[in-house]
Amino acid sequence: MNHNVTCVECDADINIPTDVMENELLACPDCGVELEVLSLNPLTVDLAPEVEEDWGE
């Protein structure tokens, strides 16, 4: 059984596999935004934090 969530960016319905883990990153199939699984019960996702490049500055 799979779970669905709504993309916080484009409101698309996203099918989440049953073996998803907390803090896992997923991509929205419609808009491509990266989402992070914040909680499994209830299933909650939000925009993944952007990773900034560190060039040793």
> What pLDDT digit, counting tens, does each position of 9-25 carry?
999 999 998 899 999 99
The pLDDT value given to residue 3: 84
Q: Is the distance from CB of 17 to CB of 23 less than 8 angstroms?
A: no
**Buried b / exposed e across 7-21, counting CB within 10 Å, b at 16+?**
beeeeeebebeeebe
Burial class from Cβ neighbours inside 10 Å (0-12, 13-18, 19+) for residue 28 reads buried
User: Which residues of the chain are modeled with pLDDT < 50?
Assistant: none
The pLDDT value given to residue 11: 97
- Structural domains in the chain? 3-47 (2.20.28.160)
The pLDDT value given to residue 1: 52
The pLDDT value given to residue 2: 65
The model carries a pTM of 0.80
